[in-house]
């Protein structure tokens, strides 16, 4: 995803301690209020102005900012018999730009793991997108999150529990 300024001190071996060190540098200070987009139901919307620190530098994301999925990269192929889902972190980079970072696709509702935050990014929350069993894929470039074959769940975070092996 880009720039990497998280340095892991050689003496620190604990995943939890490394997660804490990185969370101090890359942190969400306020509640984003993530919801389905209103300008485009194919995007994730922030309902509140959101203060974020990345590498110690503070940014404020606008209330009503909408973050788009990436075509084909964020697609989920449907399975005829089981739900397929993924968790997409809403992250902010060192320039203050928000984007989505996709975790692994999992089979079954509620089974997709929250991915670790990419280094050099702050997380403000995530959306879990589940594609119902059947033949309709999730097309990240055009599907609205309100589509009948999708279930989406929004979670706001100050830091990512997966970074501490708590996800």
Domains defined for the chain, CATH in brackets: 15-164 (2.80.20)
More confidently predicted of 67 and 8: 67
Residue 108 reports pLDDT greater than 90: yes
Write down the pLDDT at residue 26: 86
Please report, to the nearest 10 degrees, the dihedral formed by the alpha carbons of residues 128, 134, 136, 140 taken in order: 20
Phi, psi of 137 (to 5 degrees): -70, 165
Write down the pLDDT at residue 56: 83
36 token code pair: 């389905």
Residues 99-123, mean pLDDT to the nearest whole number: 95
Residue 145 reports pLDDT greater than 90: yes
Write down the pLDDT at residue 3: 37
- For 15-57, how does the pLDDT look when each residue is reduced to its tens digit (9 = 90+)? 566 555 665 678 899 999 999 999 999 999 999 999 999 988 8
Closest CA to 100 of 119, 78, 117: 117
- For 46-75, how does the pLDDT look when each residue is reduced to its tens digit (9 = 90+)? 999 999 999 888 999 999 999 999 989 999
Write down the pLDDT at residue 15: 58
- For 94-105, how does the pLDDT look when each residue is reduced to its tens digit (9 = 90+)? 999 999 999 999
DSSP 105-154: -EESTT-PPPPPPPTT-EEEEEEEEEEPSSS--B-TTT--TT-TTEEEEE
Residue 147 reports pLDDT greater than 90: yes
Write down the pLDDT at residue 116: 92
Write down the pLDDT at residue 165: 73
pLDDT band of residue 120 (cuts 50, 70, 90) is: confident
Tell me what percent of the residues of the chain surpass a pLDDT of 90: 73
Predicted TM-score (pTM) of the model is 0.87
Helix (H) or strand (E) holding 25: helix 15-25
Phi, psi of 163 (to 5 degrees): -70, -15
Most distant pair of Cα atoms in the chain: their distance:
50
Question: From CA 71, how far away is CA 80, in angstroms rounded?
Answer: 22
């Amino acid at each position: 995803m880009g720039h990497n300024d998280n340095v892991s001190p050689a003496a620190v071996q604990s995943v939890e301690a490394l997660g804490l060190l990185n969370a101090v540098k890359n942190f969400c200070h306020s509640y984003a209020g993530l919801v389905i987009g209103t300008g485009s139901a194919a995007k994730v919307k922030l309902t509140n102005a959101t203060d974020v620190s990345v590498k110690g530098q503070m940014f404020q994301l606008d209330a009503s900012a909408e973050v788009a999925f990436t075509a084909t990269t964020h697609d989920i192929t449907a399975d005829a018999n089981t739900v397929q889902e993924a968790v997409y972190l809403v992250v902010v980079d060192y320039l203050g730009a928000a984007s989505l970072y996709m975790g692994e696709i999992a089979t079954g509702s509620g089974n997709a793991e929250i991915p670790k935050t990419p280094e050099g990014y702050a997380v403000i929350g995530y959306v879990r997108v589940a594609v119902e069993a059947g033949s309709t894929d999730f097309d990240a470039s055009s599907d609205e999150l309100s589509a009948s074959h999708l279930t989406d769940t929004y979670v706001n975070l100050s830091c990512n529990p997966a970074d501490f092996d708590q996800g």
